[in-house]
Structure 1
């Protein structure tokens, strides 16, 4: 389904997007970040918090490391401030990159098993599908944030994968 090269490209893309996003968010006021904008997680800040929390949940499942506390309902309040979010985002992106750099093709085969707090049930899905979902989930919520940042009349990050620096020979 997917390869270690794909995973590494997407991990690099995730880190690049979050570096740009961090800069955009730092230019905004706290009130603008927390303003209810009518999206599922209400605000820019709550959406990026949920995304950070979700990345840590998926990484705990994939690398066996530490998982964040709480569930989806608590995820919008995962970090209390932009500075705390920024530091944790940087660490998490490093964790994803480190994991992706060490992947072998066999690491993406077989089933990933976990207990879903959302479903309140044990789940088993193909590992490759779960990894693809993690990156898709990131892109989905960053797209929401991009729209909210643009609507707030701020400059949103360049999001095209084809324009990622050092994106490789596939261009």
Structure 2
């Protein structure tokens, strides 16, 4: 590992918060009926999917840091309203960013000992766990995005592309003509 790897995780934490803000803003345009509609996604609805993402981030951050809440079910509904969930999401995104800001090569290469939801023990490097955390967010955010765009249409649903974030964050730019 090196400073490049640490920078990559900082970029992913920034992207994660950015994409969540955009997704939650789109979800806020849904009616309550649409927001809660069972649509056949892994966690049913936009509401279930957004709750699942917060649940899993809390579980992983508890495993990584040893602190914070860790729900005991992947389908737990932590907050019943979108505004409450959005506030908690923002706090968790700040927590993830704050943790990532403390990373070093030593921490990234260190083994994390944890048990999965069934109690089975595992060991893997923190870097691999963070890869999963950010990839998992992207996976289920994509599901929520699809559900939202099904209600609002593509034109009303924001891009969540990493390249878009990189451009907005000044990490990429167009070449001069």
| Structure 1 length-normalised TM | 0.91
Instruction: Give the conservation status (yes or no) of the 8 Å contact 2:30–2:152.
Output: no
In structure 1, how many angstroms separate the alpha carbons of the residues matched to 2:173 and 2:106?
Answer: 23
Q: Over residues 82-136 of structure 1, what are the superposed CA-to-partner deviations in whole Å (9 max), with x where a residue is unaligned?
A: 111011001000001111112111110121111211x331111222111100000
In structure 1, how many angstroms separate the alpha carbons of the residues matched to 2:169 and 2:102?
Answer: 19
Query: What is the CA-CA distance between 1:67 and the residue it aligns to?
Result: 2.4
Q: How do 1:132-171 residues align onto structure 2 when only pairs under 5 Å count? A: 132-154=131-153, 155-164=156-165, 165-168=168-171
In structure 2, how many angstroms separate the alpha carbons of the residues matched to 1:7 and 1:152?
Answer: 33
Alpha-carbon RMSD across the aligned residues, in angstroms, is 1.8
Aligned to 1:91: 91
Match for residue 49 of structure 1 among 48, 51, 56 = 51
Query: What is the CA-CA distance between 1:143 and the residue it aligns to?
Result: 0.6
Instruction: Give the conservation status (yes or no) of the 8 Å contact 2:110–2:125.
Output: yes
Higher CA-based Rg: 2
Q: Cα–Cα, structure 1 residues 48 and 108, in superposed 2: closer, same or farther, change >3 Å?
A: same
Aligned residues: 168
